[in-house]
Amino acid sequence: MNTEKQENSIVEISKNLLIGLKTTISTFFKKPVTFQYPKEKRQIADRYRAFPHLNVNGDASLRCVACFLCQTVCPSEAIKIRSGYVDYGTEHELTERQAHNHSLDASKQGVLNDGRRHPSSFEIDLLRCIGCGYCEEICPEEAISMGSDYEVAFYTREEGIYGIDKLIKSK
Amino acid sequence: MLFWLIAEIIKILIVFAGLLLSAAYLTLLERKIAARIQNRMGPMEAGFHGLLQPIADGIKLFFKEDIIPTEANKFLFILAPIIVVIPALSTFAVIPFGAPVKILGHIVPLQITDVNIGVLFILALTSLGVYGVVIGGWASNSKYSLLGGIRTAAQMVSYEIPLVLSIIGVIMIAGDLSLSKIVSEQSHIWFVVYQPVGFIIYLIASTAEMNRVPFDIGEAEGELVAGFHTEYSSMEFAFYFIGEYAQMVVNSAVIVTLFLGGWQGPLLPSFVWFIIKVFFVILIYLWLRWTYPRLRYDELMDFGWKFLLPLALANIIVTGFIMIILKG
């Protein structure tokens, strides 16, 4: 290999200088790759996943049955669940299947429910969440799934802990 | 008599306002062009596509706290930015920016004053700019400022020589130092055709004169923070900025006058041609800035003394020989 330093001639140098000018003028006429971020949102892919959120049924009841699988599988221990029951009250119209399910009647007297366990509180610490998607993968009820809302910011650490209401609302 | 006085004052006001405005808007142009060359968008928030950005910048700088280092020489510290701005603005006095117009039966030349040593006047005033830089660098009493000032002084003095020598070819062909004469000499063919080498040398040397990239070792931000204006803030800093950009407009105007036929052009009014040509030359300066990296100090000195200076001298000799041959 020739390792000798090349003595550049004036012709060679000027040629390279002109190549530089040509490069910059060609990029000048190209469309900018940046965009006005807060005004213009990035077009995200359909499969894009950001943070988990909770899914609900058509009648706005929680799908989650507090099986603790997601809390167990979560590698960063971001999910904290406390199990409980949801009292639907007499106002709420239960579906036929729900009304005939009396499996929980023995443990909870006088409470109108759909016969399933539900979380009394369900918290995901979004500051701990790494967005791995294990919770979505393991959930047997399709109650938790990954959303596309990537603009998550808080003023305090406490705000980063999302409860049931916030998790349902977030996309 | 009164008519002339009023006409002169109006001309001075137009040139002064035009220069300051163009210096302000050059900052926006520079940022926009830099952005486009780097595939970005540049300022977009203030006004339509950032059109009010220079005004916002100006207001911000105006209301900034004026910090003067305690160890600095206060008088010289404040004087230095002024020394940079005044010559830059007053150089424009001798540049013809349009064909003479007839107002109320008087023929008014569109030029503040037509001195018969116009070229000399320009060269004298542009070299004064180095004092502002050197004084500012010394008065700040900071090592970065001082080093920046020294480097800039060395650079400006070295590039002054090829700058002056590159013009001599034009003066030889035109046979006059008056800028209006030089412009009228170019009514048939621009001097850039006769003096392509002189044109390129002037373009390069004037870039170095203005301390612009690739010749900005005086304020090399990677090494010297901001060079000679490290300690400056508020309006004093703005003055350095105005001076720098006004100098760019003036240098472009000089190039247009000496090499590109001045205000001469078909169809459009003469001052429009002048503005178009100046804009074009400014674009070349911006293009150069955002293409090339900064030269090292020794490369800069080598380039100035070992390449540009002999080339400028050779250009004069060749021009002289050709003129003698064509005449004889």
Rounded Cα gap, residues B95 and B257, in angstroms: 7
Is residue B154 classed exposed, middle or buried when 0-12, 13-18 and 19+ CB atoms within 10 A define those classes? middle
SS3 state of residue A168: helix
> Is residue A90 very low, low, confident or very high in pLDDT (cuts 50, 70, 90)?
low
Beta strand A118-125 with A144-146 is unpaired
Could you read off the pLDDT of B285-296 as tens digits, one per residue?
Answer: 888 888 888 888
Could you read off the pLDDT of B112-163 as tens digits, one per residue?
Answer: 777 888 888 888 888 887 888 888 888 888 888 888 888 888 888 888 889 8
ipTM reported for the complex, 2 dp = 0.71
Would you call A11 an interface residue with chain B, using a CB distance cutoff of 8 Å?
A: no
| Residue among B61, B232, B211 at smallest CA distance from B140 | B232
Would you call B6 an interface residue with chain A, using a CB distance cutoff of 8 Å?
A: no
> Is residue A73 very low, low, confident or very high in pLDDT (cuts 50, 70, 90)?
very high
Average per-residue pLDDT for chain B:
85
Would you call B292 an interface residue with chain A, using a CB distance cutoff of 8 Å?
A: yes
Asked whether the CA dihedral A122, A126, A129, A132 is positive or negative, the reply is: positive
Would you call B291 an interface residue with chain A, using a CB distance cutoff of 8 Å?
A: yes
Report whether pLDDT(B325) > 70.
Answer: yes
Domain ranges of chain B: 2-48+71-327
Residues of A in contact with B35 (CB under 8 A): 32
Rounded Cα gap, residues A34 and B28, in angstroms: 18
Domains in chain A with CATH codes: 52-169 (3.30.70.3270)
Report whether pLDDT(A171) > 80.
Answer: no
Report whether pLDDT(A31) > 80.
Answer: yes
Residues of B in contact with A28 (CB under 8 A): 33, 36-37
pTM higher than 0.80 = no
Nearest chain B CA: its distance from A131 CA (Å): 31
Rounded Cα gap, residues B156 and B150, in angstroms: 10
For testing contact with chain A, the best of B29, B38, B49, B308 (most A CBs within 10 A) = B38
Decide: B19 and B26 in contact? Cβ < 8 Å: no
Beta strand A161-162 with A144-146 is unpaired
Asked whether the CA dihedral B72, B73, B75, B79 is positive or negative, the reply is: negative
